Amino acid sequence: MTHAHGTEPVSPWVRRFASLVPEGEVLDLACGHGRHARLFAALGHPVLATDRDGAALAALAQPGITTLETDLEAGRPWPFTSACFAGIVVTNYLHRPLFPHILASLAPGGVLLMETFAQGNGQFGKPSNPDFLLAPGELLAVARDLHVLAFEDGYVETPKPALVQRLCAIKPPLPGDADAAHAAHAAIKRRLDG
């Protein structure tokens, strides 16, 4: 089943793990028409939705969502501060030079949700350019310093047939902060059980 541009449903992967994101601001990176920004705003998170498509961002205006029009691939400095987001969502987008910035902007205890296309996807259509396709294990390698809760690498049927990699990972507390580590583990357990 295909969907008109801008009407894609929330990713089942993102929906599955959305409740793990702790209280705080969520960054929806390369948000497109904002399906995930809307989800997190509905869950009570303040959301910063960023994309280079100003028209899509204008249509996203609603309480709880701040938008920022920026081209993340234009070589400008990363516009976000370190360790400030409780959650970062990246779907159907890959620009490898951003990986270190994304990880640095995730707060300790914050959740990274990523889902994008993998090598071999060309057999199903676009994207087919290797620059926009994850190599086997690449997303796991990016998250090597995070606590990976879930990872998938393979074929999906919906919203269209594709090969994807998906990741849900939590940034550990700062080294030496045993109280924060204990609190983070207890919060993760509550979120998983709840």
Return the domain boundaries, the chain. 12-193
Query: What percent of the chain has a predicted confidence (pLDDT) above 70?
Result: 86
C-alpha radius of gyration, the chain, whole number? 16
Residues 6+ positions from 6 with CB-CB distance below 8 Å:
32, 33, 56, 59
Q: For residues 34-52, give the mean pLDDT.
A: 97
pTM over 0.95: no
Long-range pairs, 70-73, Cβ under 8 A, ≥24: 72/29, 72/30, 72/98
Q: Is the pLDDT of residue 153 over 70?
A: yes
- Sheet containing 147-156: give its strands across: 65-69, 47-51, 26-29, 85-91, 106-117, 162-170, 147-156
Torsion of CA 123, 126, 131, 132, to 10 degrees: -110
pLDDT (0 to 100) of residue 135: 93
Would you place residue 1 in the very low, low, confident or very high pLDDT band (cuts 50, 70, 90)? very low
pLDDT (0 to 100) of residue 185: 52
Query: 3, exposed or middle or buried, with CB in 10 Å at 0-12, 13-18, 19+?
Result: exposed
For the domain covering 12-193, report its CATH number.
3.40.50.150
Q: Is the pLDDT of residue 162 over 90?
A: no
- Residue 189 near residue 165, CB atoms below 8 Å: no
